[in-house]
Amino acid sequence: MDWGNVTAEDLVDALREVDWSSPPRPLSEFFSRFTVPKSLAKWDSRLKCNLYYYRTNYFIMIVFILGLGFLTRPLAILSAFLTAVSVAFLNDSFAGSFSEKATRTIRRFSPQLAAKMRPPLAPVIRGRPSAKRAIYICGQPRWVFVLISSLVSFALWYISCGLFTVSLALLIGLLATILHATLRTPNLKARLNTFREEFRAVWRNYSEI
């Protein structure tokens, strides 16, 4: 994959659709080799590649920095957790996995309620399922869960007076992410991983036809 030709919108779509359940990269690899990019084009390509390849590491690092800032504010920790859940719901893989596990758990206690939580059937266009299918969580559109968790987390942020703390901690986490993604030299494993993910995406689109 030529990361120089990948736009920011393409990167956001890839991060939204990719599976985030994979474990983080080892620390020995995460802090392996650092060099300064020689040109703006190399910096742009390296930044996108590292953001995609080390996505789980960056997410854990930001959550850890936020946690350090909330050691004296237990309510703010709950707010940060709900905020992280709101962001996680935007990922297709996480939303689908969460909905499936929640439905399976509820089915043990109430099969009738679990049956109502099934997502509606995907629309069929010219005998084929629509490629752009809406994501449902427990039978409801995804935006409902994102909106509810976002509103609750914002209310908790307001009550705990932790808006300044989260802004500062989030800024530090984002700066640390950009700094690492800028200086970390992409290795062969990162390039091979992006080719494998690209193949899986193409194969998934082919199998849906």
In terms of domains, do 105 and 149 share one?
Answer: yes
Q: What is the pLDDT of residues 134-177, one digit of tens each?
A: 788 887 888 888 899 889 888 887 777 667 777 888 899 999 99
Residue 199 has pLDDT above 50, yes or no: no
In terms of domains, do 57 and 118 share one?
Answer: no
| pLDDT confidence bin for 125, thresholds 50/70/90 | low
In terms of domains, do 143 and 117 share one?
Answer: yes
Residue 40 has pLDDT above 80, yes or no: yes
Q: Answer yes or no: is 195 within a domain.
A: yes
What range does the domain containing 203 cover? 39-73+162-208
Q: Answer yes or no: is 17 within a domain.
A: no
Bigger pLDDT: 131 vs 186: 186
**59-76 burial by CB neighbour count: b if 16+ within 10 A, else e?**
bebbbebbeebbeebeeb
Q: Answer yes or no: is 156 within a domain.
A: yes
Q: Answer yes or no: is 23 within a domain.
A: no
Bigger pLDDT: 40 vs 128: 40
In terms of domains, do 52 and 94 share one?
Answer: no
Bigger pLDDT: 123 vs 100: 100
In terms of domains, do 114 and 168 share one?
Answer: no
Q: Directed axis angle between helix 163-183 and helix 142-160, to 10°?
A: 120
Which whole number is the average pLDDT over 53-70? 85
Residue whose pair of structure tokens reads 């959550």 in the numeric block: 63
Q: What is the predicted pLDDT for the residue at 207? A: 43
Which one-letter amino acid corresponds to residue 149?
S
In terms of domains, do 178 and 115 share one?
Answer: no
Name the token pair of 23.
Answer: 């474990």
Q: Answer yes or no: is 198 within a domain.
A: yes
Which sign, positive or negative, has the C-alpha torsion 190, 196, 199, 201?
A: negative
In terms of domains, do 96 and 146 share one?
Answer: yes
Report how far Cα 59 is from the mean position of its chain's Cα atoms. Answer: 8
* Number of domains the chain contains: 2
Q: What is the predicted pLDDT for the residue at 201? A: 52
Report the distance separating Cα 102 and Cα 178, nearest Å: 35
